[in-house]
Structure 1
Amino acid sequence: RGFEVLFLPKFHCKLNPIKQCWGHSKQDYRKCSPSSLETDLERNMLNALAVILLETIRRYFVRAQRFMDAYRRGLSGKQAAWASKKYCGHRMLPNGILDDLEKAGISRDE
């Protein structure tokens, strides 16, 4: 009770904040010195997951919300990426987004 399940498209990292967190942790994991010891591998993996700040995780979720909103409005992938970057301080895109895209010269076909 009180939980909502949201099924996300497979392999779409822009819509899945967990994939963004995983990518962040893999980037940190690659900075660790190479080892074949299982204890080192486990420690490095746990450390890589632990360094992701809560604020960063929240930003991944807000970014995913913006992409979902853009796709819900019928924007193409390129338009959604532009809008997500331009309105990075907003959770949802403004109502005049289509006018802004036209002014910026970003068409649906590009």
Structure 2
Amino acid sequence: HRSLPASSKEVDLERNVLQSLDSVPLLAIRRFSARSLRFMDAYRKGLNGKQAAWASKKYRGHRVLPETIMRDLTDAGLVDNTC
């Protein structure tokens, strides 16, 4: 989108956005969407950024994280049990 001419007209902006979206492969959009859903689910379950990244990578074939995620994090040494 940076290579497209700058404009403040709504018609030009809409055209630029559509051109930019058309240049991204649908598979890349779907993969980003699935990864985003896993991160949102991780944060919803109380994970921090490091834990969310680990869980997103480990469970990349899943849309959401399993209910056993906290046990899995403990087993992986990513949960501080000193509290």
For residues 32-88 of structure 1, what are the alpha-carbon distances to aligned partners after superposition, in whole Å with 9 as ceiling and x for unaligned?
xxxxxxxxx328x88765331111101111111101100000011100010001101
3-state secondary structure, aligned to 2:73: helix
Residues of 2 paired with 1:68 and 1:108: CA distance? Answer: 21
Residues of 2 paired with 1:49 and 1:69: CA distance? Answer: 26
What residue is the counterpart of 1:51 in the other structure?
Answer: 23
Which ranges of structure 2 fall in alignment gaps of 5 or more residues? 6-15
Within 5 Å, which residues of 2 pair with 1:20-99? 41-42=3-4, 49-99=21-71
> Under a length normalisation based on structure 2, what TM-score does the superposition of the two structures give?
0.70
Q: Among the aligned pairs, what percent are the same residue?
A: 51
> Under a length normalisation based on structure 1, what TM-score does the superposition of the two structures give?
0.54
Residues of 1 paired with 2:22 and 2:47: CA distance? Answer: 35
Ranked by relative contact order (alpha carbons within 8 Å, sequence separation 6 or more), the top structure is 1
The RMSD of aligned alpha carbons is: 2.5
What residue is the counterpart of 1:36 in the other structure?
Answer: none
Which ranges of structure 1 fall in alignment gaps of 5 or more residues? 1-24, 30-40
3-state secondary structure, aligned to 2:4: helix
Larger Rg: 2
Aligned residues: 70
Runs of at least 4 residues of structure 1 off by over 3 A? 45-51
